[in-house]
Amino acid sequence: MSTNTESIKVVVRCRPMNDKERAATFESVVSVDVKLGQIIVRNPRESLSCKSSKVFTFDSVYNWKSKQIELYDESFRPLVDSVLQGFNGTIFAYGQTGTGKTYTMEGTRNDPERRGVIPNSFDHIFTHISRSQNQQYLVRASYLEIYQEEIRDLLSKDQARQLELRERPDTGVYVKNLSSFVTRSKEEIENVMNVGNQNRSVGSTNMNEHSSRSHAIFVITVECSELGLDGENHIRVGKLNLVDLAGSERQTKTGAQGERLKEATKINLSLSALGNVISALVDGRSSHIPYRDSKLTRLLQDSLGGNARTVMVANIGPASYNLEETLTTLHYSSRAKNIKNTPCINEDPKDAQLRKFQEEIARLKAQLEKRTGKKNRRHKRRAGDCSDGENQEEESGDDDVDNKDDENKEKDNKGDYWREQQEMLEKERKAIMEDHSLVAEEKVQLLQEKEKKMADLKREQKEGELLATKIKTMESKLLVGGKNIVDHTNEQQRMLELKRQEIDEQKWKEREMRQQMESRDEENLELKETYTSLQQEVDIKTKKVKKLFAKLEAVKAEIHEIQEAHISARQQLEQTQNELTRDLKLKSQMIDNFIPLEDKNKIVTRAYFDEEDEYWKMKPITRVEHDPRMMNRPQSAVGFRRPLSHHARMAMMLSLDMRYKAENILLLEMDLPSRTTKNYQQPVIAPKVVAALKDALKDEDDLEVDASGFDCSLSPVASASGSIRKPKSGRSRTSKQLNTRTASCSPQNLTSPMYPQSRGLVPK
Ligand code: ADP
Ligand code: MG
């Protein structure tokens, strides 16, 4: 196991001017010194002195003429090689949108010359496997995307599903339930990539904007099993992360609202967290590295300061209008150069799939063996019974023939065996049918038995075949080299590649030496110098002071720039914070005004933050303090906070009636209906009527009627004394009226009955 510490390799690639930039005659401000590994950026606003240009040195740099394969061979092939040896490796492309990150990682499909790192690595891996000897490989591919801090599996059928990150002490951070496909050839893995790319564009209204704000990670896991010196099979697992990061430009947040604001802040979060992790790693003073701040940094934890090998490719554009972003990218990448990783080989990890495959195949084979073994024994026994010496000879001679013959024979044997068995059963069935000595019932029973045996036989045969195909499919997933390829060509190609690798290594070394020489030149100049005269010493020292002064100025300018960048970043953060605070206030006010205080308190006491899921969750309610039994939450309709009857749900769906929209707290205010009643007002009665009424309702006990001139025998109630008694019943008024009227009727009218002409008390 290697425990060497090595730095992250940083390479910079400058793309050519595009048509638009050329048409607008933008100036190129970037020059690339490939031999020395330097990028020189000139500020067009300042004079053409050395002060205005900035020099950045990297492990390797590529100009606009660089070819994809050149980049791969020189900078990425060694990393993929180490993945094949069992190291973890990461290649990530960083830079402003439109500078060629996707071009570098994926390239142009269907153009072999312009294929990017990902397809070139497919080629590399499968060619390596086909040339290997005495090794067994298993290659798996996964493809995921981080968008708005949410992980999406680009190979899953359900694109809406979000995935979670999990951590295990032995294997580190991984994505739970991420689908991975076993691929057996270059074509298969290319197909996986294409499916993922298609899914990447689905669901995004603007693909350009989406890809510039999301991080795409293609993961290839290569497992290799080889017989070790100890005679045991050892498995090495290498994981290659190929990362196309979101655009590094600052997200302009003018007018960003709601979802867009959320998106902008989250994208910033992932990239700024990456920046913070890099700073913390380079700083060396901080013991805490903020990996947990974002999904991206957690996933890349191994690759940044961990046990993986990492190459970062920084993409820049040459045009003057991109100057600020180009400088930011170069500063960022320069810092990343100083990150130290400690790569180590993953040998025999617990979760190696290859081991599981091998074990499963062995288990299935044993199962099949057991089946066929049992049958063969039966077969032998039967053959012995038949006293056919030939058969025995054939079987005993099995050990001498080679494997292939063995296999074929086994197959033939199996086929024969099934055929024989069937024929025998058939024969027996016929014999029973023809046997007249048996009673019909016995016959039926025996026949049924035979039928059952035949069905069992067929089932067994089917199961055996199923097992065999299962073994075959599993075995086909494990790749072994040395097949189908002429060894001679292999050897020559291998030599050619070794030579190319040597040349590339030479180039790296040469560049490194040049860089070292240049920095040493400046330091050692003074030591070597011997002065012949004082004047000469003064001259030379003045020159040196001038040079150092220029350097000092450059450093000062850089500090100033970094400070300015910090200030603007802080201002942006403050602006975001203000917007978020405002958002928070709205929510708080809603809670204060619409949620009862006791409910709010209940929620606050029960809520806790789940760090793994990054989600607020509710602790379960316990009925009694120390009782582990949980109180069952009432069954509620999905999505609602309280149980709802079927009727209520239907009414909610069908009508606009607010009555059933119980969950919508904002619509709680009721619409009051308009009034339909009036205040009571006493009726107004004319004074004349009041007087009449009063009069009428007067107590009539002492009412005197003069009936002296009236001899009437009509009224039985008229007393001799002439006074009329007021009846005690409630109908006093009627009788009174009647009596009064009776009293006033004239003697002439006595013959014909007299009826009142109008109601009331007014006499006619
Ligand atoms: P990014 O992924 O960084 O947003 P792209 O990879 O989509 O950028 O590149 C933007 C455009 O520039 C594409 O049309 C691509 O073909 C072109 N391009 C980028 N780099 C190069 C290069 N080195 N040579 C030729 N064309 C390039
Ligand atoms: Mg892109």
Please report which ligand is nearest the Cα atom of 97: 1
Please report which ligand is nearest the Cα atom of 98: 1
Higher pLDDT, 636 or 460: 460
> Residue 103: CB within 6 Å of ligand 1?
yes
> Residue 248: CB within 6 Å of ligand 1?
no
Q: What pLDDT is stored for residue 16 in this prediction?
A: 94
Euclidean distance between CA atoms 6 and 305, whole angstroms: 10
pLDDT band at 155 (very low <50, low <70, confident <90, very high): very high
**CA–CA distances in Å: residue 16 to residues 210, 366, 391:** 24, 61, 78
> Residue 270: CB within 6 Å of ligand 1?
no
Among 11, 12, 15, the mutation site with the greatest number of ligand 1 atoms within 8 A of its Cβ is 15
Q: What pLDDT is stored for residue 431 in this prediction?
A: 80
Q: Find how far residue 214's CA is from the centre of its chain.
A: 12
Alpha carbon dihedral 154, 159, 161, 163, in 10-degree steps, equals 10
92: closest CA among 105, 103, 79? 105
Among 103, 248, 316, the mutation site with the greatest number of ligand 1 atoms within 8 A of its Cβ is 103
Among protein residues, the one whose CA lies closest to atom 1 of ligand 1: 98
> Worst-scoring range by mean pLDDT, 305-314, 463-472, 582-591?
463-472
* Residue 273 region by backbone torsions, left for phi larger than 0, else alpha for psi between -120 and 50, else beta: alpha
Alpha carbon dihedral 424, 426, 428, 431, in 10-degree steps, equals -140
Give the Å distance between the CA of 201 and the centre of ligand 2. Answer: 12
Higher pLDDT, 305 or 636: 305
Tell me the pLDDT of the chain averaged across its residues.
Answer: 77
Among protein residues, the one whose CA lies closest to atom 22 of ligand 1: 15
- Judge contact between 712 and 750, C-beta under 8 A: yes
Give the Å distance between the CA of 103 and the centre of ligand 2. Answer: 7
> Residue 115: CB within 6 Å of ligand 1?
no
Higher pLDDT, 731 or 463: 463
> Residue 101: CB within 6 Å of ligand 1?
yes
Give 215-226 pLDDT, tens digit per residue.
999 999 999 998
> Residue 212: CB within 6 Å of ligand 1?
yes
Instruction: At 323, list the tokens.
Output: 């100057």
> Residue 99: CB within 6 Å of ligand 1?
yes
Please report which ligand is nearest the Cα atom of 19: 1
What phi and psi values does residue 8 have, to the nearest 5 degrees? -65, 140
> Worst-scoring range by mean pLDDT, 236-245, 398-407, 643-652?
398-407
In the three-class reduction of DSSP (H, G, I as helix; E, B as strand; rest coil), residue 123 is classed as: helix
- Read off the pLDDT of each residue in 695-719 and give the average, rounded to a whole number: 57
Q: What pLDDT is stored for residue 296 in this prediction?
A: 92
Q: Which contacts (CB < 8 Å, 24+ apart) does range 39-46 have? A: 39/12, 39/14, 39/316, 39/330, 41/323, 41/326, 41/327, 41/330, 43/323, 44/320, 44/323
| pLDDT over 50 (residue 667) | no
Helix (H) or strand (E) holding 129: helix 117-131
- Judge contact between 561 and 334, C-beta under 8 A: no
Classify residue 236 by burial, with Cβ atoms within 10 Å: 0-12, 13-18, 19+: buried
Angle at 638 between CA 632 and CA 641, to 5 degrees: 65
Q: What pLDDT is stored for residue 349 in this prediction?
A: 80
- Judge contact between 252 and 263, C-beta under 8 A: no
9: closest CA among 96, 89, 69? 89
Among protein residues, the one whose CA lies closest to atom 10 of ligand 1: 98
> Residue 215: CB within 6 Å of ligand 1?
no
DSSP at 228: -
Euclidean distance between CA atoms 107 and 100, whole angstroms: 9
Higher pLDDT, 392 or 49: 49
Helix (H) or strand (E) holding 476: helix 440-477
> Residue 742: CB within 6 Å of ligand 1?
no
Strand partners, 637: none
Give the Å distance between the CA of 680 and the centre of ligand 2. Answer: 79
- Spatial neighbors of 3 by CB under 8 A, at least 6 apart, are 342, 344
Concatenate the DSSP letters of all residues of 721-756 into one string. Answer: TSPPPPPSSSTHHHHHHHHHHHHH--GGGGSS----
Determine the atom of ligand 1 nearest the C-alpha atom of 15: 23
Give the Å distance between the CA of 373 and the centre of ligand 2. Answer: 59
Give 378-395 pLDDT, tens digit per residue.
555 544 444 343 333 333
Determine the atom of ligand 1 nearest the C-alpha atom of 208: 4
Euclidean distance between CA atoms 515 and 61, whole angstroms: 13
- Spatial neighbors of 391 by CB under 8 A, at least 6 apart, are 380, 383
- Judge contact between 37 and 60, C-beta under 8 A: yes
Q: Which amino acid is at 630?
A: M
Q: What pLDDT is stored for residue 551 in this prediction?
A: 84
Q: β-strand 60-62 against 9-14: which pairing, if any?
A: parallel
Q: What percent of the chain has pLDDT over 90?
A: 23
pLDDT band at 374 (very low <50, low <70, confident <90, very high): low
In the three-class reduction of DSSP (H, G, I as helix; E, B as strand; rest coil), residue 170 is classed as: coil
- Judge contact between 322 and 43, C-beta under 8 A: no
What phi and psi values does residue 55 have, to the nearest 5 degrees? -115, 130
Please report which ligand is nearest the Cα atom of 313: 1
**CA–CA distances in Å: residue 96 to residues 22, 317, 437, 475, 533:** 19, 8, 95, 45, 54
